[in-house]
Amino acid sequence: MKVLVIGGGGREHALVWKIAQSPLVTKLYCAPGNPGTAALAENIPLAADQVDKLLQFAYENKIDLTVVGPEQPLSLGIVDTFEAHGLKVFGPSQKAAFIEGSKAFSKDLMKKYQVPTAAYGVFTDQAAAEEFIKQTGAPIVVKADGLAAGKGVIIAQTCEEAIAAVSDMLSGNAFGSAGSRVVIEEFLTGEEASFLVITDGKNIIPLASAQDHKAIFDGDQGPNTGGMGAYSPAPVVTQAIHDAAMELVIRPTVDGMAAEGRPYRGVLYAGLMVKDGQVKTLEFNARFGDPECQPLLMRMKSDLVPVLLAVASGDLGSAAIEWHESASVCVVMASAGYPGDYAKGDVISGLDEAAQLEDVYVFHAGTASKEGNCVTSGGRVLGVTARGASVKAAIDKAYQAVSCIGWSGVQFRTDIGRKALDKI
Ligand code: AMP
Ligand code: GLY
């Protein structure tokens, strides 16, 4: 069968890497892809949000299954458009992807279906928001309602900071129309985990546990990014936490979405805060996490394609996913300046050397080919991912590969996975 993966980041390189291993696949495309996916699939020069052109491509090339990586095309309704033309596609409909597209919607859904989450208010008015902030006190969290590439969340240490963040968002200066409504919520403490499931709207397959590292610097310091590294399994997700996440978060959300007339099909990603054996939901995403996808797929033993196809066909049935016992760690290497303005066009060295290492795969995220070189072209450039018998072994292997690779101003965290080691 012919498969099209939409997107061009590290997550999509990992999807392409995994899907390319399926004996069911005869031809694989990626749009727009990156120099990493080009080695495994045919890159198509269409951006992920060019829904009509992607539809035309899929239709003309008789694509049997399209897999959507990023949130923008989902929010634009790519799944509805493809399905209206009889094409099979893995991902939630526009109405279902709203669970990520609007934080206010997602919070109201959680409240209605009693999914544990932080106390909150939704505001479009500055004065009312200020009142709420003063009543609640700092630290307090201010979130742009709409999509903001993982950067629309401000953890304010003082009420003044929170009020300024609200004003920036409501005025449209930060995040444009995505900030015209804000969610303000109670600051939660604890340890985060990324809890992903694949669902057809009724049946649910939990994926292995994972943990992201959102802050730019070691020790979770500095501003949040799209994710500086991830590992799987995450020991913070004990069996009891897993059960609580399924019963209290995932099941009521999947059922709630169906009851709201927004049946959810695809990957549902719950960002959880775990504390004292309790889970609270920070957010939902309508897709695989990036970089969580990289270590998760490296640990997945089963063929992913039949599962994606079953969901796209509307019935997961008795499909199951097996995992390697091993652990996997992904260290993100980023450009100087990220998550702010960053440099581009620096020549990346050492990729061939890293590729020689066993149980290591270097997923490309923001790279480009230029005059025979691989150069940086995005904030997050590479996801250096390794598998090992233990988290410790996988960490050592990943950092061995990282040490081979370099460019001017490269930055990466040196503590990816350390929280897991503290627990073992
Ligand atoms: P979100 O996109 O809503 O998950 O927020 C991004 C990140 O901000 C989360 O992964 C957390 O690190 C942090 N965050 C979000 N909401 C809260 C909260 N209520 N309390 C503490 N940290 C939060
Ligand atoms: N790594 C966090 C995300 O994909 O949203």
Interval 230-276: pLDDT, tens = 999 999 999 999 999 999 999 999 999 999 999 999 999 999 999 99
The number of residues making up the chain comes to 424
pLDDT band, very low/low/confident/very high, at 178 (cuts 50, 70, 90): confident
With 90 as the cut, is the pLDDT of residue 195 above it? yes
Q: Say if ligand 1 is within 6 A of residue 283 CB.
A: yes
Q: Report the separation in Å between the CA atom of 118 and the middle of ligand 1, taken as the mean of its atom positions.
A: 10
DSSP labels, 217-275? EGGGEEEE-S-SEEEES-TTS-HHHHHHIIIIIIHHHHHHHHHTT----EEEEEEEEEE
Q: Locate the domains of the chain by residue range.
A: 2-91, 125-180, 191-312, 327-423
Which one of 153, 187, 274 would you pick to mutate in the ligand 1 pocket, going by the greatest count of ligand atoms within 8 A of its CB? 153
Topology of domain 2-91 in CATH is: Rossmann fold (3.40.50)
The CATH architecture annotation of domain 327-423 reads Alpha-Beta Complex (3.90)
One-letter amino acid of 122 = V
The CATH architecture annotation of domain 191-312 reads 2-Layer Sandwich (3.30)
Which one of 283, 290, 385 would you pick to mutate in the ligand 2 pocket, going by the greatest count of ligand atoms within 8 A of its CB? 290
pLDDT digits 0-9 by tens, 93-111: 999 999 999 999 999 999 9
**CA 317 centroid distance within chain:** 25
pLDDT digits 0-9 by tens, 35-83: 999 999 999 999 999 999 999 999 999 999 999 999 999 999 999 999 9
Instruction: State the ligand closest to the CA atom of 10.
Output: 2
Which residues in 296-311 are b (16+ Cβ under 10 Å) and which e?
A: bbbbbeebbbebbbbb
With 80 as the cut, is the pLDDT of residue 124 above it? yes
What per-residue confidence (pLDDT) applies to 318?
Answer: 85
| Residues 346 and 409: beta-carbon distance below 8 Å | yes
What per-residue confidence (pLDDT) applies to 180?
Answer: 87
What per-residue confidence (pLDDT) applies to 175?
Answer: 82
Residue identifier of the C-alpha nearest atom 7 of ligand 1: 153
pLDDT band, very low/low/confident/very high, at 172 (cuts 50, 70, 90): confident
| Residues 266 and 199: beta-carbon distance below 8 Å | yes
Q: Say if ligand 1 is within 6 A of residue 192 CB.
A: yes
Question: Of 147, 163, 73, which is closest to residue 105 (Cα–Cα)?
Answer: 147
The CATH architecture annotation of domain 125-180 reads 2-Layer Sandwich (3.30)
Residue identifier of the C-alpha nearest atom 9 of ligand 1: 282
Same fold, 2-91 and 125-180: no
What per-residue confidence (pLDDT) applies to 100?
Answer: 96
Query: Which of ligand 1's atoms lies nearest the C-alpha of 212?
Result: 10
What per-residue confidence (pLDDT) applies to 199?
Answer: 98
